[in-house]
Amino acid sequence: MKFAFFDAKPYDKPSFEKYGNENGVKFRFFETKLNEDTVDLANGCDGVCAFVNDTINAPVIDKLYDMGIRVIAMRCAGYNNVDIKHCFGKIHVLRVPAYSPYAVAEHTMAMLLTSIRRIHKAYIRTKDFNFSLNGLTGFDLHGKTVGVIGTGRIGRVFIDICRGFGMKVIAYDKYPAKDSGIDYVSTDELFAQSDIISLHCPLNEESYHIISEKSIKLMKKGVVIVNTSRGALIDADALLEGIKERKVGAACLDVYEEEADIFFEDYSGHIIADDTLARLITMPNVIVTSHQAFLTEEALSNIAETTVSNIAEFFADGKCQNELCYHCGNIEECRKNRMGKCF
């Protein structure tokens, strides 16, 4: 089986080559992202392996289908960049629903601690032999209220970490975890009560811009907002205004709404055209990492193993437990729950 592997990075290749060789899957690695201009690179392959910033819209799907490609293997959990509805009846879409919740949850806490204890500023100072403590005063996490939006595996691991710090945890999830002992509240209550808000929910029509001008107005003055989930959960312009108005005390962003053409690339020495991102990065109380939360050795290995396993399972059985279906969630229409595959 030959798969075109788009948006390949040096850290991707070892694990995918290892598990691919073990399961008879050969990857053609391309540094370019998948889009309408690059889709022809997949010609002659049995499928494509894609990532969060690849563009898998209707024209790309139709082109892949015309090439005889019937499988898209996403090597990530998110799939908002895939037109799932247009794939129906043409191409099966597989994903990695979980790889290492610890990787993302731990990065979330790392960003939070770095921000509130000014570790990044202290690091830069001491490199210049400046050992002054002026301007480095932080605050204790112990006793603070953290509002967690999304209590899937990552959200629950982050909640466990927060409890270890002695924090009070409240949460919102459309589908609360049963018998979890989590104190669920409405979004308005969460915004009003939280000293820190951390986002761990998927991106959909309901969660799009869940952090907006309206929700920021409900928040405590000085609130810290952390996002290691999906960029479009936050209205970046509203966040910037909240920071300028001193309503938002700090922001830690591992994702950004318009990251597709920026993150994962080296633009040092270049001028960034995105004015909102450029202004956010200049703010002294904003930390930005470029979609790095997943990047641990364990997670990379799990991603490769699950992706290759998905491919092998589909080609062996004609179906895969990790296939996506745009009908999923609708009991009357979803075929996957009855047939084991979307179509």
Q: Is the pLDDT of residue 164 over 90?
A: yes
Average pLDDT of 108-121?
98
Can you give the pLDDT at residue 172? 98
- Cα of first residue to Cα of last residue in the chain, in angstroms, is 22
Secondary structure percentages of the chain, helix, strand, coil, to 5: 35, 15, 50
| pLDDT(333) > 90 | no
Q: What pLDDT does residue 325 have?
A: 84
Domains identified in the chain and CATH numbers: 2-99+297-339 (3.40.50.720), 101-288 (3.40.50.720)
**Residues acting as catalytic residues:** 230, 259, 291
pLDDT of residue 328 exceeding 70, the answer is no
| High-pLDDT (> 90) share of the chain, % | 89
| pLDDT value for 332 | 60
Question: The dihedral of CA 112, 116, 119, 125: what is its sign?
Answer: positive
Cβ proximity of 138 and 116 under 8 Å:
yes
DSSP code of residue 204: S
SS3 74: strand
The answer to whether residue 93 scores a pLDDT higher than 90 is yes
Q: Is 80 exceeded by the pLDDT of residue 200? A: yes
Confidence bin at 210 (pLDDT 50/70/90): very high
Stated pTM of the model:
0.89
| Tens digit of each residue's pLDDT (9 = 90 or more) over 268-288 | 989 999 999 999 999 999 999
Please give the residue that has the higher pLDDT: either 205 or 254.
254
